[in-house]
Amino acid sequence: MPKYPNNISSKLPKVGTTIFTVMSALANEHKAINLSQGFPNFDVNPKLVSLVNQKMKSGLNQYAPMQGVPQLREVLCEKMEKLYGAKYHPDKEINITSGGTQAIYSALTAIVREGDEVIVIEPAYDCYVPAIELNGGISIYVQLKSPHHKIDWNDVKRVMSSHTKVIMINTPHNPMGSVMTADDMKQLEKLVKGTNIIIISDEVYEHIIFDGLKHESVCKYPRLAERSFIIYSFGKTYHATGWKIGYCFAPENLMSEFRKVHQFIVFCSNTPIQYALADYIKECDDYNELSEFYQEKRDFFLKQIKDSRFKFIPASGSYFQLLNYSAITNEKDTDYAIRLTKENGVASIPTSVFYHKPIDNKLLRFCFAKTDDILKKAAEKLCKI
Ligand code: GLN
């Protein structure tokens, strides 16, 4: 087809297809074990599936309220209070979204104007920066400190200015698997005190945290909660990433701006799934068992590869484990991830792609949200290298 109009200048000139799509496609093409894109291969709890089915059969198939169905908003507010002692109003301070990514996009769009600066901690999940740039914002970068991938708050302080509109944080962290501590939260509190800075806190892996660590949500800190959008995802918690459903909490003044944007991005999210989740969560708090479940997975995978040439520090949270391959080759992580997929049959995600200027720490990210047979097979392949 002729290329008309031929004067389009891309709004995202540096952006290609996301690494998750690229690596999953490569894994399929080479029939490799796909530990790249993060998704579980476990079934959704049959009770939840049958609830969705029931809701569909009972005719709940038309638009949901724009904010999300009231029953679901209510159980989620109860959950926030039970887990973190945070009080949110179900009518005014929560919105159901079509996944975490959409919630992040809506929050940024509601807040960021041309020329506003947004502090992004790198490596950063790949939807943050394009969403900032599409809104005319400027990303200001701070890198996590190796080897434990911690935030150096002095670095954050150094880049803060009167133009700083938002600080984005993510705990448990994707792709690094590190978690923020109570001390991190207190430092952040000190930094933003007396400013109008808004926080966007990506907490989609809140229930996947290991070794007795506790999830530090910004909502536990009233001085942070009062200025924060907090993003959650059902996909990670209920093994249902394809349902694309999540939610966002924020104080009323922020949430009302969020809703103005949200209603014209998706209007509302999937109706029967929202009703099903409301009933399920009311009855069942199985999210409390998720950390233990995934810690066993992490430990199983690490035990299988302990004699390989890969080096690692066990992940503290999320369902991703980093492996350092510097004892094997000096190749760029993007090249090695491709070769590992093609020649060794295991697909992973190179971490350098999560930086604005690639920083190659020789770290590949492997998703361990898989049944033991898959993890075992992948580990056997990795051990042969
Ligand atoms: N969150 C998933 C990951 O980090 C990927 C989601 C996606 O493919 N967009 O792997």
Characterize the bridge pairing of strands 198-202 and 164-170.
parallel
Q: Residue 367 pLDDT > 90, yes or no?
A: yes
> Tell me, what amino acid is at 146?
S
**pLDDT score, position 162:** 97
**What residue ranges of the chain are covered by domains with CATH 3.90.1150.10?**
19-44+288-383
Q: What is the pLDDT of residue 169?
A: 98
Q: Is residue 8 very low, low, confident or very high in pLDDT (cuts 50, 70, 90)? A: confident
Pocket of ligand 1 contains residue 102 by CB under 6 Å = no
User: Closest Cα to residue 37, out of 21, 49, 53?
Assistant: 21
126 lines ligand 1 (CB under 6 A): no
C-alpha span between 157 and 168 (Å, rounded):
14
* 214-227: average pLDDT: 98
Cβ(37) to ligand 1 under 6 A? yes
Residue nearest to atom 3 of ligand 1 (CA): 38
174 lines ligand 1 (CB under 6 A): yes
Q: Which ranges in the chain are annotated with CATH 3.40.640.10?
A: 46-286
Kindly state if the Cβ of 351 falls inside 6 Å of ligand 1. Answer: no
Please choose, from the candidates 270, 358, 330, the residue with its C-alpha nearest in 3D space to the C-alpha of residue 68: 270
Whether residue 5 has pLDDT greater than 80 = no
309-349, pLDDT tens digit by residue?
Answer: 999 999 999 999 999 999 999 999 999 999 999 999 999 99
DSSP string computed for 304-373 = HTTTSS-B----SBSSEEEEE-TTT--S-HHHHHHHHHHHHSEE-EEGGGGSSS----SEEEEE--S-HH
Q: Give pTM, 2 decimals.
A: 0.97
Q: Using CA atoms, how far apart are residues 232 and 17, in angstroms rounded to an integer?
A: 24
Q: Are 164 and 138 in contact (CB under 8 A)?
A: no
Return the ligand 1 atom nearest residue 127 CA.
9
100 lines ligand 1 (CB under 6 A): no
Mean pLDDT of 130-152: 97
**Which tokens belong to 250?**
């924020």
241, amino acid identity: T
CA distance 214 to 269: 30
Pairing of strands 228-233, 198-202: parallel
pLDDT band of 2, cuts 50, 70, 90: low
What's the confidence (pLDDT) of residue 4?
Answer: 73
271-283 and 70-84 are packed helices; what angle lies between their axes, rounded to 10 degrees? 40
DSSP class of 44: P
Strand 363-367 and strand 33-34: the pairing is unpaired
Our answer on whether the CB atom of 312 is closer than 6 Å to any ligand 1 atom is no
21 CA distance to ligand 1 centroid (A)?
9
Q: Are 283 and 258 in contact (CB under 8 A)?
A: no
- CB of 20 sitting under 6 A from ligand 1: yes
Mean pLDDT of 226-246: 98
Nearest CA to ligand 1 atom 2: 38
Instruction: Indicate whether 198 pLDDT > 70.
Output: yes
pLDDT (average), residues 57-82:
98
Q: How far is the CA of 222 from the centre of ligand 1 (A)?
A: 30
Ligand 1 contact, 233 CB (< 6 A): no
Q: Which of 26, 37, 104 to mutate to test the pocket of ligand 1 (most atoms within 8 A of CB)?
A: 37
What is the 3-class SS of 169-206, one letter each residue? EECCCCCCCCCCCHHHHHHHHHHHCCCCCEEEEECCCC
Q: Whose CA is nearest to atom 1 of ligand 1?
A: 38
- Fold of the CATH domain 46-286: Aspartate Aminotransferase; domain 2 (3.40.640)
**CA 37 / ligand 1 centre spacing (Å):** 5
The topology under which CATH files domain 19-44+288-383 is Aspartate Aminotransferase, domain 1 (3.90.1150)
| Chain segment 254-288, per-residue pLDDT in tens | 999 999 999 999 999 999 999 999 999 999 999 99
Give the tens place of pLDDT for each residue, 106-134.
Answer: 999 999 999 999 999 999 999 999 999 99
Backbone torsion region of residue 59, taken as left when φ is above 0, otherwise alpha when ψ lies between -120 and 50, otherwise beta: left
pLDDT of residue 343: 97
363 has pLDDT over 80:
yes
Contact 287 CB / ligand 1 (< 6 Å): no
